[in-house]
Every structure is written in structure tokens, then in C-alpha cells.
């Protein structure tokens, strides 16, 4: 009898240390954490929409995107380097870590300097509506967000996904709690949400570092730091170019919408994008677990496993996208208020690209695990150029729906390019990704049988004892 891909990969991959959980356990753990964080984030979005309104929500979205962009500059790709080198190293062999933290600190100084120059000196028109006090909070948030991303990457490299989920949820809980407290103290201001976000990032980072202090204990010597700067930085920067380009592909439209339209339109658009990106929860969880797994087992069985995973991600996101398109006209006004009805059209226009990009996220994780993260950089740069051209043409003509259409086209193009790279590097056929296979049905049947067995054992705990005499006879 043929084995399904998961079985093949698990039986033939390189030996895994005790710190490496099974892929399914990793996925479930990550999804559980993302679900909790997502629920809290949804509550925060409702609070922003109901208490602050569309214009303030638009400014908050602009500030959060700015922090994310500055974090990419400050981090210099350290997250990917941490996951890659931690997955390759034996436990407690962390001589690379001082090097990553050192150039990460220098990167934060660079990012803070660029932000100060851009806001107070250049006064870029893309940042209109943002106050000086908001800019100060952003300045503090850049290093906080950078080292929070580093700490999350460290947990991912160690495959401590439960701890990773815990700290992610803690950050959200602290952020929302502080928002409510600061709201009572200082009133309905954009800065209230930004300071709450900063406090959540700081508490999340400190908690992660405290809980991983034994794993990250290493000798900080100048010689070790200098010897590891070049290899870690080379890997990081090779992927960071793509991260920056991908960021602009995903978020450039926020700045251009803010340039052409009113802050309220930014709020409508930001909410629609946030809702549509809920479909990325499963692909992001899969990518987080797949990256270190592929590092350990980049062979033919890993390729077969990746194609199996890609098919399941595509199926789930197609079903989720159809459901989201159907219920969003009723749910969005009900939850966020009738003022946010324009966000529905954003969801509809961007959904095809959101579904397509779910494949690219998983595919990029597989390529990065094979040491081929340069593909993502090249493709992201190309798609960034496409996004910029389409945004500049479509937003003045179609408003926020034009921005959604531009992003959707760029996402689909990115997905096609990543799948083409997988076909070349891993010899994966498009049909193996897009068309369900007979092995999928075998896995589904096995999963259903397993679920039935669990339910039966839970419902009738003494069934086996009652049947045992008959089987003995």
C-alpha cells in the first residue's frame, strides 16, 4: 500500500532532535496561537472603528505600516537568519547570535535616523495627517518591534511554537489592555493606540527572552561575533531585499491612498485589507513550520511533502475566500459599523490575489529552507514595480477599489513566479499543486477514521473492555 507524503517524509528525513515536534503538532500549535491573537486583534479593530472612527483608524494604519517598514530596515533580515542558523545548529551552539544582534542594533539606529529625517526634515507628503507626537511613538517603536521580531524568530528556529504563540498572544492582550487604560486616562487619540502597541511589543520581547534564556546562553566574544557577521549577514541581506520589496507590494497602496485620498478612505481600505488577510493565517502557520523542517530535510521526500501541503492550503483558502466574499456585506457593517460599508468592495477586489499569494508564502518558505531565498527577492522587486505602476494609475481612477485591484494583480503574479521557481528547483509540476491527488483522499479518510475513533473512545470509554471477551473467544 502506498504511503501518503507526510508518512514518507517523516520516515526518511534526517534525524530530529527532541526539540523538534512533528509537523502537524507544529501547525496546530501555531494556528492555536494565531487564532487567539487574531481574536484579540479583531477586538482591537472593533474598538478602533467604534471609538476612534474611520479617519483615526486610517492614521493608525498608516503609523503601523510605517513601523513595519522601519522594522524591516532595522532588522536587516535578522529574523530569517536566526531561523535558518538556529535550525542548522546543535542545541546551545549559538555563536552566530551575538553577530545578528550586533548588526540588528546598528540597523535600528539607521532606521530611526532615516525616520527622523523623513518626517521632520523632508516632511514627505505620503505621511500627511500624522502628528509629531505620533512620529515620536514610532521612533520608540522601531527597536521594540525589531527585537520582538528577533525573539519570535528565535522561538521559531528552536521550533518552540507553543512559546511563540504564547508571546504573540501576550503582546496582543497587553496592547489591547493598555489601549483601554490609556483611553480612559488620555482620551480618544491616535497616540493612545500607538503607545499601547509599543508597550505590548516590549512586554512580549522581555517575556520571550526570559523564557528562552537557557537556550540563548552563549559566550559573547569579539572574535566569535566578527567571524559570524559575514555569513549571517550575507544570508539575511539576500532575503531582506525581497522582504522590503514584498512589504511595498503589500503596503505601498496605504501610502498612495493616503497621498491621493482622505484619511477616512485610508481607514476603509486598511480595514478591508486586514479582513482579507485573515486568510493568510493558515499559510503563515504552515510556512513557519515548513521553513525549519525543510532546512533539516531538503530532499525528494521534502519536495513531495511540500506539494501535498500546497494543495491543502489552496483548497482551504479557496473555501475560506468564498465564504468571506459571501458574508462580508452583512458582517462588516454589523461588527464595525455602517460607516465601514466601503470596506466590503475592497475585500471583494483583493480576495483573488490574497488566495493566490497563500501559495507563494508556503512556496517561499520551502525555497528559503533550501537556501534559495534569493528568488523571493527578485520576484518581490518585480511585483513591487508592478504594484507601484498600477497603484499610481488605478487609485486616482477607482479610489480604494483601484488599490485593491492593483494588489490583487501583483499577488497573483508573485504566486505564479514562486511556483515557477519551485518547478525549477524542486521539480514540482503545476498539476501536482493545483489538482487534488488520490493520496489526498487517503489522508482525508485516515483523518476522518482517526477522528471517529477519538470520538468513540471519548463517548464510550469502556467499549474496548466490553468487547475484549468476545475478541478473545
Q: What is the DSSP string of 282-335?
A: HHHHHHHHHHHHHHH--SHHHHHHHHHHHHHHHHHHHHHHHHHHHHHHHHHHHH
**For 251-268, how does the pLDDT look when each residue is reduced to its tens digit (9 = 90+)?**
778 888 888 888 889 889
DSSP for 93-146 reads --TTHHHHHHHHHHHHHHHHHHHHIIIIII--GGGTT--HHHHHHHHHHHHHHH
Element (H, E) at 120: none
Query: Which SS3 state, helix, strand or coil, does residue 435 take?
Result: coil
Residue 239 cell numbers, joined: 532575503
Structural domains of the chain, count = 1
Q: Is residue 472 part of a domain?
A: no
Q: Is residue 455 part of a domain?
A: no
Q: Is residue 3 part of a domain?
A: no
pLDDT one digit per residue (tens) for the chain, 473 residues: 333 333 333 333 333 344 455 667 767 777 777 777 778 888 888 888 888 888 888 888 889 889 988 998 888 887 877 877 776 655 445 667 777 888 888 889 999 999 999 999 888 888 888 889 999 999 999 999 999 998 888 887 777 878 888 888 899 899 989 999 999 988 888 899 999 999 999 999 999 888 887 777 665 666 666 666 777 777 777 767 767 777 777 777 888 888 888 888 988 998 899 899 888 888 888 887 787 777 766 555 677 788 888 888 888 899 999 999 999 999 999 988 888 999 999 999 999 999 999 998 888 888 877 777 778 778 888 888 898 899 999 999 999 999 999 999 999 999 999 989 888 887 777 777 777 777 767 777 776 776 667 667 666 555 544 444 444 44
Query: Which SS3 state, helix, strand or coil, does residue 202 take?
Result: helix
In degrees rounded to 5, what are phi and psi of residue 426?
-110, 5
**For 128-182, how does the pLDDT look when each residue is reduced to its tens digit (9 = 90+)?**
888 899 999 999 999 999 999 988 888 877 778 788 888 888 998 999 899 999 9
Q: Is residue 462 part of a domain?
A: no
Global confidence as pTM: 0.68
Query: 239: domain range?
Result: 21-450
Q: Is residue 262 part of a domain?
A: yes
Q: Is residue 84 part of a domain?
A: yes
Q: Is residue 398 part of a domain?
A: yes
Element (H, E) at 192: helix 190-211
Terminal alpha carbon distance of the chain? 30
Cα 279 to chain centroid distance, Å, stands at 11
Closest of 344, 340, 339, 330 to residue 276, by C-alpha:
344
Q: Is residue 125 part of a domain?
A: yes
CB 10, CB 301: distance < 8 Å: no
Amino acid at each position: 500500500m502506498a504511503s501518503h507524503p507526510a508518512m514518507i517524509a517523516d520516515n526518511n528525513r534526517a534525524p530530529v532532535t527532541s526539540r523538534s515536534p512533528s509537523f502537524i503538532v507544529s501547525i496546530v500549535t501555531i494556528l492555536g496561537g494565531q487564532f487567539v491573537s487574531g481574536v484579540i486583534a479583531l477586538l482591537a479593530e472593533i474598538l478602533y472603528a467604534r471609538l476612534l472612527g474611520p479617519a483615526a483608524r486610517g492614521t493608525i494604519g498608516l503609523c503601523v505600516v510605517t513601523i513595519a517598514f522601519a522594522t524591516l530596515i532595522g532588522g536587516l533580515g535578522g529574523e530569517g537568519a536566526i531561523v535558518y542558523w538556529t535550525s542548522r545548529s546543535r542545541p546551545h551552539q549559538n555563536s552566530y547570535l551575538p553577530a545578528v544582534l550586533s548588526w540588528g542594533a546598528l540597523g535600528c539606529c539607521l532606521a530611526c535616523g532615516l525616520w527622523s529625517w523623513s518626517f521632520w526634515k523632508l516632511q514627505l507628503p505620503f505621511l500627511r495627517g500624522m502628528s509629531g507626537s505620533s512620529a515620536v511613538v514610532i521612533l520608540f517603536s522601531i527597536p521594540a518591534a525589531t527585537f520582538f521580531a528577533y525573539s519570535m524568530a528565535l522561538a521559531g528556529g528552536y521550533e518552540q511554537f507553543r512559546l511563540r504563540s504564547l508571546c504573540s498572544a501576550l503582546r496582543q492582550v497587553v496592547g489591547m489592555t493598555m489601549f483601554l487604560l490609556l483611553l480612559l486616562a488620555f482620551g480618544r487619540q491616535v497616540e493612545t493606540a500607538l503607545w499601547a502597541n509599543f508597550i505590548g511589543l516590549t512586554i512580549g520581547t522581555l517575556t520571550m527572552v526570559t523564557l528562552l534564556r537557557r537556550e540563548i546562553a552563549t559566550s559573547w566574544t569579539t572574535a566569535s561575533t566578527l567571524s559570524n557577521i559575514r555569513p549571517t549577514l550575507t544570508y539575511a541581506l539576500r532575503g531582506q531585499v525581497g522582504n522590503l520589496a514584498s512589504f511595498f507590494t503589500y503596503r505601498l497602496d496605504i501610502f498612495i491612498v493616503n497621498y491621493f485620498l482622505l484619511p477616512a478612505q485610508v481607514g476603509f481600505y486598511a480595514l478591508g485589507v486586514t479582513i482579507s488577510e485573515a486568510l493568510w493565517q493558515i499559510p503563515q502557520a504552515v510556512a513557519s513550520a515548513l521553513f525549519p523542517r525543510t532546512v533539516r530535510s531538503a530532499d525528494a521526500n521534502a519536495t513531495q511533502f511540500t506539494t501535498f501541503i500546497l494543495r491543502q492550503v489552496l483548497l482551504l483558502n479557496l473555501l475560506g475566500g468564498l465564504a468571506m466574499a459571501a458574508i462580508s456585506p452583512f458582517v462588516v457593517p454589523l461588527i464595525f459599523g455602517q460607516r465601514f460599508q466601503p470596506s466590503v468592495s475592497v475585500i471583494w477586489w483583493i480576495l483573488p490575489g490574497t488566495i493566490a499569494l497563500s501559495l507563494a508564502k508556503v512556496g517561499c518558505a520551502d525555497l528559503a529552507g533550501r537556501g534559495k531565498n534569493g528568488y523571493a527577492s527578485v520576484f518581490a522587486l518585480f511585483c513591487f514595480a508592478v504594484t507601484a505602476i498600477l497603484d499610481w494609475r488605478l487609485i486616482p481612477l477607482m479610489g480604494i477599489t483601484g488599490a485593491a485591484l492593483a494588489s490583487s494583480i501583483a499577488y497573483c503574479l508573485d504566486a505564479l513566479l514562486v511556483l515557477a521557481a519551485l518547478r525549477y528547483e524542486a521539480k514540482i509540476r503545476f498539476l501536482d499543486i493545483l489538482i487534488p491527488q488520490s493520496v489526498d483522499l487517503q489522508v482525508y479518510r485516515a483523518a476522518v477514521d482517526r477522528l471517529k475513533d477519538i470520538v468513540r473512545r471519548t463517548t464510550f470509554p469502556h467499549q474496548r473492555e466490553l468487547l475484549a471477551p468476545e475478541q478473545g473467544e
